[in-house]
Structure 1
Amino acid sequence: MPSIDIRHPHSLAPAKARKAVEDVAKKLAERFDIQYEWDGDVLNFARSGVDGKIAVSPEHLRVTAQLGFLLGAMKGPIEAEIRRVLEEKFK
């Protein structure tokens, strides 16, 4: 099963980093029917074909996801889009 594992540094205060992750999760939920919930400082998300999480720490974010067969074929573009959004939201 293809997977994504991205670490992205940030310098936001913990509450601001968490808010930015929440904003991204809301957009994903609207666009792609992704379900999400917080478990401490980890946002878990899932839908058919993807299961992942975004862990928020004081210095970086870590995005991990397991992709199903169909989405696995699009791993490159999905990973590129995640990196683009992280660059935009967490400069």
Structure 2
Amino acid sequence: MASIDICHSHDLSPAKARKAVEQAAIKLGEKFGLDYRWEGDTLHFARSGVDGRIALAPKQVQVTAQLGFLLSAMQGPIETEIRRALKEKLA
């Protein structure tokens, strides 16, 4: 299993950061077929072979994910897409 761990800084208010993270989750969901749900300030996302979360904190978000065997080969492109979505939505 491969793992992803990304810390991304931002200057948004908590409400705007939450909206931006949700927009990123929607975009990633469309591209990778992810489902998501909120638990407090943490967005959990999953699909077959992926289990992760995006934790909101003041001035940063922390993305962690575990990739199953088949998706481990796609770790690089998945991580690149997450970073791109975060940069785009949390700018």
- Say yes or no: TM over 0.5: yes
Tell me, yes or no, if the aligned pair for 2:23 and 2:89 is still in contact at 8 Å.
no
Write the mapping of 1:8-87 to structure 2, written as runs, cut at 5 A: 8-87=8-87
- Number of aligned pairs? 91
TM-score, scaled to structure 2: 0.92
Q: Deviations over 1:60-81 (max 9, x none)?
A: 0000000011110111111111
TM-score, scaled to structure 1: 0.92
How far did 1:39 drift? 0.5
How far did 1:84 drift? 1.3
Distance 2:16 2:7 in 1: 18
How far did 1:33 drift? 2.8
Letter paired with 1:18: R
Gaps of 5+ in 2: none
1:29 to 1:81, Cα distance in 2 relative to 1, 3 A? closer
Gaps of 5+ in 1: none
Tell me, yes or no, if the aligned pair for 2:28 and 2:82 is still in contact at 8 Å.
no
Distance 1:32 1:86 in 2: 15
Letter paired with 1:51: D
What SS is found at the alignment partner of 2:43?
strand
